Structure 1
Amino acid sequence: MSDDATAAAPEALQVALDLEQLPGGARSAVEAVLMVIDEPVTEEEVAQALELPVEDVGALLDELAKEYADSARGFVLRRLGGGWRIYTRPEYAPVVERFLLGGQQARLTQAALETLAVIAYRQPVSRARIGAIRGVNVDGVVRTLLARGMVTEVGHEPTAGAVLYGTTDLFLQRMGLDSLDDLPALAPYLPSAEVLEELAAEGLA
């Protein structure tokens, strides 16, 4: 072991001993971190900050998540977008929305939801392609989604140079997804092969 590692070891041990001496120990220390974060935090980040094994932090987070869910608190602890964060319990979303917005409409419009769905399933996708799929001009809707942080620019088309859009981590959080792999399959909602053939024959597909 190097001299630097030897010097660092007592300091790390002291942090661990301090956690043990706190009223709630490591468990409450993890809770304290969760209460001050604005973005989801990974198990590795918490473990590094508290000088704890990642496996222990993961177990504590699972324990806290179960406790919050079982005790019908107004909040839940969830792992979304690759990180952990405390969220309002879904049943209380209308209450929080009313408090924060004074009754103002905060939900996305139908047009915004449809545009967001196209981006989520076809990303990276250009604004022109989104408009072609929806059959309407989507410039204003895309600007709204950008402003709300649900989508972001992810690159440019190699040939035309058009901006390509994709969803953000905030989208995953709001949709309750851990990754894009968790998006519902589209197949059950698509027309059957027979219907598509009929539409093609009529020039509508």
Structure 2
Amino acid sequence: MSEQDPAAQPAEVDDPSPNADEQIAFDINDFPGGARSALEAVLMVVEEPVTEVALASALELPVEDVREHLVALEEDYAAAQRGFTLRNVAGGWRMYSRADYAPVVEKFVLDGQQAKLTQASLETLAVIAYRQPVSRSRVSAVRGVNVDGVVRTLLSRGLIEEVEDVGESGAILYRTTPYFLQRMGLSSLDELPPLAPYLPDADVIDELIEEGHS
């Protein structure tokens, strides 16, 4: 048997990337503030609500323990009258400014620090929220104006989305997204204020659509 040419052998190269099997090791009790402070550290960097399961995985704790710590943290914040609150919204936990300080936050927003939805966008979003899933023609009938441009804006901002199943007429239907709940500070659509009774019934909307096509 001939000897194999050493030059044909692949050279061994040190892999600078971390081993996939390696885990960041720590004992949650070694941190100065323990599990609750560790939870705060994680929640300060999230941009959307994070689930209890994800938090439990990060802290290497049982989900039940994480839930207890989260509830205790919010109780501490409320007792200390902190300007922020910890809320369970859209299936996950996140820090929010406390409602008591809404005037201050509103002034900050109105001073141009964040982009606001136009009145037309807000009205269209309200119709979709209370009548979802709903087609653009139905929304237009309620508002009395064409909403194609506004719907595109709401889609681009992630506040609404297309429904996979189209309506009986074949029209695309729209509904609000989990991000809508997050921005509104709601856990579910059931928490929406009772505005629906003030919107036209489906039969009335159909009549408006027919009038618009005649």
TM-score bracket for this pair, using the shorter chain length: 0.7 to 0.9
* 2:151 counterpart of 1:142: yes
Q: Deviations over 1:53-84 (max 9, x none)?
A: 11111111111112223323332211111110
* 2:56 counterpart of 1:75: no
Shift of 1:190: 6.5
- Provide the rounded CA distance (Å) in 2 between the counterparts of 1:190 and 1:142: 19
The structure with the greater share of residues assigned to helix is: 1
TM-score norm. by structure 1 comes to 0.74
Query: Does the CA contact (< 8 Å) of 2:88 and 2:187 recur in 1?
Result: yes
Q: Deviations over 1:27-50 (max 9, x none)?
A: 111111111111101111111221
- Provide the rounded CA distance (Å) in 1 between the counterparts of 2:132 and 2:60: 39
Please, which runs of 5 or more residues in structure 2 have no aligned partner? 1-22, 205-214
Quick one: which amino acid aligns to residue 68 of structure 1?
Y
TM-score norm. by structure 2 comes to 0.71
Match of 2:8 in 1: none
Classify 1:158/1:121 alpha carbon distance in 2 versus 1 (closer, same or farther; 3 Å): closer
Q: How many residues align?
A: 176
Q: Larger deviation: 151-160 or 73-82?
A: 151-160
Query: Does the CA contact (< 8 Å) of 2:136 and 2:173 recur in 1?
Result: yes
> Which one of the candidate residues 66, 91, 97 is aligned to 2:109?
97
Quick one: which amino acid aligns to residue 190 of structure 2?
D
Shift of 1:88: 2.6
Query: Does the CA contact (< 8 Å) of 1:155 and 1:165 recur in 2?
Result: no
* 2:125 counterpart of 1:113: no
Please, which runs of 5 or more residues in structure 1 have no aligned partner? 1-10, 197-205
Query: Does the CA contact (< 8 Å) of 1:115 and 1:142 recur in 2?
Result: yes
Three-state SS of the structure 2 residue aligned to 1:107 is coil
Classify 1:188/1:154 alpha carbon distance in 2 versus 1 (closer, same or farther; 3 Å): closer
Quick one: which amino acid aligns to residue 122 of structure 1?
R
Query: Does the CA contact (< 8 Å) of 1:156 and 1:164 recur in 2?
Result: yes
Query: Does the CA contact (< 8 Å) of 2:28 and 2:34 recur in 1?
Result: yes
Q: Larger deviation: 78-87 or 64-73?
A: 64-73
- Provide the rounded CA distance (Å) in 1 between the counterparts of 2:112 and 2:125: 24
Q: Deviations over 1:149-173 (max 9, x none)?
A: 2111222425543222111112112
> Which one of the candidate residues 63, 84, 89 is aligned to 2:93?
84
* 2:78 counterpart of 1:64: no
Query: Does the CA contact (< 8 Å) of 1:112 and 1:145 recur in 2?
Result: yes
Three-state SS of the structure 1 residue aligned to 2:149 is helix
Query: Does the CA contact (< 8 Å) of 1:39 and 1:85 recur in 2?
Result: yes
* 2:164 counterpart of 1:152: no
When Rg is computed on C-alpha atoms for both structures, the one with the higher figure is 2
